[in-house]
Amino acid sequence: MYNVAIIGAGPAGIFSALEIVKLKPDWKVVLIEKGDKIEDRKCLLREGYSKCPTCKKCGLLCGWGGAGAFSDGKLTLTPDVGGHLIDYMSRKKVEDLIDYADKLYLEFGATDEVFGTDQKTFDELERQASLAELKLVHSPVRHLGTERSLDVLKNMQDYLMDKITILNNVSAKNFIVECEQVKGIVLDNGDTIEAEYTIIAPGREGADWLTHEFAKNKIGMVNNAVDIGVRVELPAPVFEPITSKLYESKLIYYSPTFGDAVRTFCMNPNGEVVQENYNGIATVNGHSYANIKTRNTNFALLVSEQFTEPFKEPIAYGQRIASLANMLGGGILVQRFGDLLDGRRSTPDRIKSSIIEPTLKCATPGDLSLVLPYRQLTSIIEMLYALDKIAPGTASRYTLLYGIEVKFYSARVKLTNDLETEGVKNLFTIGDGAGVTRGLIQASASGVHVARVICSR
């Protein structure tokens, strides 16, 4: 019997545990994580495999620290991007939670440097963006880098090891609800965890499980926008005038043809493109190290589509599109922008004759127009031309496009302002998997918030 059970050891779950331990040190807390301890996480693709072996549990997505925290470690210190917490509380409260979470990262070893704090520099870049019909969101960023992020998360893990119960390599199968109140969790090994309060923070990897489990228990859900797109890779000097000042630029563009919002996401100066495995589906992502630099910069271009009734499966929609790319290329597809415009597939020879050397070696040259729906593809092309106005060279014929990038946080649970599920008492849902957040710092802040709510009861 525990006071609190937490599903998922990503930033949302970790920060819930950290705050509960601080406020209620005598409470019994269990944290359940389907992946490994952080020191045991690994990716066979990085260890010499020519193709992703599609492990049952992807080492880049599962395990202590979650997906984004382990792979890159960018803390975007503003309520304006990275989540929807301001839908549940005041902007001032969200700012305070972000500031508190940021200080905790610093306590556990995060770097002191924050990019994008000079207002004069931002104003000039914002002016340039406006002339290109782009909206630049002011978003100061603290960048840990992959290796430093690992150290910070290891410190958090070591701190909590003797204060709570941590169960690795075990998954939550379902949760137990009696008389409209959560009573605990059944694990995939048959064990039952009884708890007064349950926090569900499964991350994007667990978004599909969360959707089906909540539907089974008749817990209300609403469709989030589906984010589908590509990862762009180009020479680092193209974006250097922007990344040297902001590190990551959050740019939004409304495509003239369809009016859809296209946004840059997860920008990695001098970084590398990586492959991830979502339940057997290969998708693309990117990250950057603190001390290891490549000659390229990469970022995602994501098109947001808000679906209405009767459509109720945004995650399945994204999975189908990513699966189609896997079918054609045996994994990730890569295509030169010039080849896309010319209506031809990229070939290994065409990729080799480019000025850009791909950092993801296992990607298959192909044709993304056979995969992406026309609407999203048109919006991405229009966004690339808009970006070319502020970063000349973005729309080069040599620019590489990898597909498919899709974010599986599309299921959004109906929650109270305490982030408690409507209709089931003492069941809290937070983080990216619940559609509440879309980044590390707001996921961490949501964990702090629910921990305080629980401890106050």
pLDDT digits (tens, 9 = 90+) for 346-383: 999 999 999 999 999 999 999 999 999 999 999 999 99
Query: What is residue 368's DSSP assignment?
Result: G
Could you count the other beta carbons within 10 Å of the beta carbon of residue 183? 17
- Give pLDDT, residue 45: 66
pLDDT digit string, tens, across residues 282-326: 999 998 887 889 999 999 999 987 777 777 777 788 889 999 999
Tokens of 131: 């002339």
Per the CB < 8 A criterion, the answer to whether 234 and 336 are in contact is no
- Torsions phi, psi of 96, nearest 5? -65, -40
Q: By percentage, how much of the chain surpasses pLDDT 70?
A: 95
Average pLDDT over residues 146-173: 93
pLDDT at 7: 96
- Those residues with Cβ within 8 angstroms of residue 32's Cβ, 6 or more apart along the chain or in another chain: 5, 6, 7, 8, 9, 167, 170, 171, 172, 185, 187, 193
Over residues 98-106, the mean pLDDT reads 97
- Decide if 3 contacts 194 (C-beta within 8 A): no
Residue 360 has a pLDDT of 95
Does the pLDDT at position 416 exceed 60? Answer: yes
Q: Give the pLDDT band (50/70/90) at residue 47.
A: low
Contacts of 290 (CB under 8 A, 6+ apart): 111, 143, 144, 145, 146, 147, 148
How far lies 402's CA from each of 86, 283, 325, in Å? Answer: 33, 9, 10
Which residues partner with 226 through β-bridges?
A: 305
The yes-or-no verdict on residue 41 having pLDDT over 90 is no
- Say how far apart CA 18 and CA 104 lie, in whole Å: 9
- Share the mean pLDDT of the chain: 91
Q: Which domains does the chain have, with CATH numbers?
A: 2-115+140-222+413-456 (3.50.50.60), 226-407 (no CATH)
